[in-house]
Amino acid sequence: MPVTPSIDFARIARTALIHSDSLCRRWLPGGYQDGREWIARNPRRTDRRPGSFKVNLSTGRWADFATGDKGGDLVGLAAYIFRMPQKDAALRIAEMLRVSPYDS
């Protein structure tokens, strides 16, 4: 029986972090950078103006301080924004950034 390779979530998250500025601009348009944070509207709720939804561009941690939703990396951010499982988000990011998603 063939063995399914494991997804290397950590490598994908590290690679995404290198591109955090461009990913946030793409995923969260209409936001703005303040220091090392991307401040935007939360696309999953009616959010009148940027302010409570923030992504740390250095660490990938993100949070909506109005709802308490939060995560530790850009894979989790993509899963949250696009309402998909972490696995699917990781595979899509790996494809977008042209990195192998699997353990070596």
* Chain segment 14-68, per-residue pLDDT in tens: 999 999 999 999 999 999 999 999 999 999 998 888 889 999 999 999 999 999 9
Say which DSSP state 34 is in: E
Distance from the first to the final alpha carbon of the chain = 20
* Chain segment 34-48, per-residue pLDDT in tens: 999 999 999 999 888
- pTM summary value: 0.92
Angle between helix 20-27 and 74-81 (nearest 10): 10
Look up residue 101 and give its two tokens.
Answer: 């998603």
Superfamily of domain 9-97: Zinc finger, CHC2-typedomain (3.90.580.10)
CA-to-CA distance for 97 and 104, rounded, in angstroms? 17
The domain locations on the chain are 9-97
